[in-house]
Structure 1
Amino acid sequence: MEHIVEERSAGDAELAQLLEAAFAELVGRYGAEGRSQVKDRARYFVVLDEERRAVGCGAVQVFGPETEHPGDGEVKRMYVVPPARGRGYARALLAALEGAARSAGHPALRLSTGELQPEAIALYESCGYVRATPWGKYVDQPAVRCYAKSL
C-alpha cells in the first residue's frame, strides 16, 4: 500500500488520536505507569499516512545538557494502529526519525521499551539498536530495556 511519512506539529489532531491510542495500549500492557506525556519535550513528531489515513506515529525528544546523554535524541511513542501492522510501517517511521535526528546533528538515538513488547524489541534489534545501560527513570526498572544506535 502507498504510504507517506511526514513531520507534524505537536497540536496535530491526527497525531493526538494516535498518541491516545498508543497510551491506551501501553496502559493495557503495563497499567497506569504506561502513560506518560511526551508532547512538551519532543523536538519533532512524524505521522505515517496510508492512503490519506494516519495509521502510525513516532517522536524524538532531545536529552538536555544536564542528562547522562546530552545531545542524543530519544525515540518516543512509536505506534502503528493494529490493522496496519505487519506492513513495515514501524520500520519506515523509525527510519524517518533517524533521518531527522541525523539531520539535526544528534550523535545517537536512544530508546526504551518493555519486556511486554517483544515486537518492539525485535524491530529495534533488527534495525541496529544495541542494549544500553539504563538512564534516568529507567535505572531501577528491571522490566525496561534500553537501546542505543549511533547515527
Structure 2
Amino acid sequence: MIKIIRTDSKNEDFSNLIKELDAYLKVTDGNEHEFYNQFNGIDVLNHVILVYDQNEAVACGAFKEFNTSSVEIKRMYTKPQTRGKGLASQVLSALETWAHELGYTACVLETGIRQKEAVQFYKKNNYTNIPNYGQYINMTNSLCFEKKLV
C-alpha cells in the first residue's frame, strides 16, 4: 500500500534516503561532486514529500523558496528497486501541489547532464529547459528546468 506524507528535513526516513542519493551522486558527479554537494544541505528544507510502500520509505523530494513566486525542487530520489512504478511522478506532483497551495506559480530545478533518466523524467513531467541560474550559470554539466504551476 502506497502512502504519501508531507514532512520536513528532520524526518529520519528522509535523511536515510538522502544518504542513498548522495552515495549515488558521488559516483555520477565524479570530480564535481563537492561543488554540487555544497548546495544540497537538507537542514533548510521545510517542505518534504515522502512515499511509503508497505511502510518503507522508498521515494522523496523537497522544495525550498527560490524567489517570491518560485520554488526550487531539491533532493528527488527513488530507491532503485522501486523505480518504474510512477513514484517519482507522485512525489513531484505532490511537491507542485503543495507549492501551488502556498501561492507559488512556478518550480525550477537543476539536474546533471549525466543523470539522463532525470532529464527525461523532468521533460516527461512538462519541465522546460531554461538558462542555468545562480551557482549553475557556468556549469557545463548542469541543466536547469522550469514548470509554470496552474
Report if TM-score (shorter chain) is over 0.5. yes
Equivalences, count: 145
Q: Which residue of 2 aligns with 1:67?
A: none
CA RMSD of aligned residues (A): 1.3
1:9 match: 8
Equivalent residue number for residue 44 of structure 1: 47
User: Hey, which bits of structure 1, 4+ residues long, moved more than 3 A?
Assistant: none
Tell me if structure 1 keeps the 8 A contact 2:9–2:44: no
Identity of aligned residues (%): 29
Residues 56 and 81 in structure 1, CA contact (< 8 A), matched pair in contact too: yes
Residues 25, 39 of structure 1: alpha-carbon distance in 2 compared, 3 angstrom cutoff: same
Amino acid at match of 2:79: V
1:99 partner SS: helix
Structure 2 segments unaligned to the other structure (5+ residues) = none
Match in the other structure for 1:119: 117
The more displaced of 125-134 and 2-11 is 2-11
Match of 2:25 in 1: 26
Structure 1: where are the runs of 5+ without partners?
65-69
108, 115, 123: which is aligned to 1:110?
A: 108
CA contact (8 A) 2:131 2:144 kept: yes
What's the CA shift for 1:35?
A: 2.4
Residues 96-105 or 27-36, more deviating: 27-36
- Matched residue type, 1:45: V
The aligned counterpart of 1:133 is 131
Deviation at 1:38, TM superposition (A): 3.1
Shift of 1:12: 1.0
TM-score by length of 2: 0.91
Deviation at 1:42, TM superposition (A): 2.0
